[in-house]
Amino acid sequence: MPLWSQVLDDLRGRLSAGEFAEGFPGDVELTSQYRVSRQTVREALRRLQQEGVIERGRGRGTFVRQRPVEQQMGTLYSLYRSAEEQGFVQESQVRFLEVRRDPEAAAMLGRGPADPLVYLERVRMIDGHPVVLDCSWLPAQLASPLLDADFHRTALYQEMDARCGLRPDAGWERVSPVLPTPEQRALLGMRVRSPAYGIERLACQGNLAVEWRHGVIRADRFRFVARWGGGRVDAAFESPSGGRAAACSQPVPAATAEVESPPQRRGGRRGSAVGG
């Protein structure tokens, strides 16, 4: 086995053990540790970089890439549950939980422009790192009990079920590429020109719209996976239990530059990076 392959295997083991949580050693240090040439070390690191395990940049050194959360598309999902099931610790920093009035969000929910709405804005943390800037609007008539909930370590849909008797089983979601605003980058710890996903979702219980959500997700910490098989080739909405759910009658709005980046259009309101 070539020397670079032996170094590569050992580095993989050390990475799996979490040895480099505080920082990855430089080339010179690794050369000394393994008593091999710098060329051997660089070949091992090149392989790790190709695998997406590390990042290397001139003047920046070498960094371990954080494992992304994988989310299957085609079902109504909970980020909290998805992250926890994959071994991550998911927590939220609640920025706002209050009653607001917003004509645009009300229209998405099929409500009058002056109807009160429960507004929840969270920075979703994965293993202590900010990954998602998440905002939800819900009709206050249905969701006012949520104002007493502690969303630090719980899922919105879990609280909706327990406190309001609401169980979303239909809807739609759209994922679009966006460039976050400076305030969004600061909240998510992103560098300038780093890409992100813009998320829009309308969740329904039958034909009743119960949540309008939009937000920003770090593209380097989250990826979507689509699976199909068993003759399923359509794009029908699928319930969490796997059965066909009732279709939400609320239409998906036409995509525009403004809609594809919804968190940016309300960015200045009350210091909030996103408005819904």
Ordered per-residue pLDDT tens for the chain, 276 residues: 899 999 999 998 888 777 887 788 999 999 999 999 999 999 999 998 887 778 887 777 887 776 666 666 666 666 656 776 767 778 999 999 999 999 999 999 999 999 999 999 999 988 888 999 999 999 999 999 999 999 998 889 999 999 999 999 999 989 899 999 999 999 999 988 888 999 999 999 999 999 999 999 998 887 777 776 665 545 444 444 444 445 566 666 655 433 333 333 343 333 333 333
In CATH, which superfamily holds the domain spanning 69-271?
Answer: Chorismate lyase-like (3.40.1410.10)
69: its two tokens: 């959360």
The yes/no answer on whether domain 3-64 falls in CATH 2.120.10.30 is no
Q: How many other C-beta atoms lie within 10 A of the C-beta of residue 62?
A: 18
d(CA 41, CA 32): 10
Output the pLDDT for position 211.
97
Contacts of 1 (CB under 8 A, 6+ apart): none
- Under a CB-based contact definition with an 8 Å cutoff, are residues 213 and 79 in contact? no
What percent of the residues of the chain are helix, what percent strand, and what percent coil, each to the nearest 5?
A: 30, 30, 40
Domain edges within the chain: 3-64, 69-271
Output the pLDDT for position 189.
92
Q: Which of 113, 118, 69 is nearest to 90 (CA)?
A: 69
Output the pLDDT for position 266.
43
Output the pLDDT for position 262.
37
131: its two tokens: 């990954």
d(CA 9, CA 259): 47
Output the pLDDT for position 181.
92
Output the pLDDT for position 111.
97
Output the pLDDT for position 269.
37
Q: What would you report as the CA-atom Rg of the chain, rounded to the nearest whole angstrom? A: 22
- Under a CB-based contact definition with an 8 Å cutoff, are residues 32 and 21 in contact? no
d(CA 228, CA 223): 17
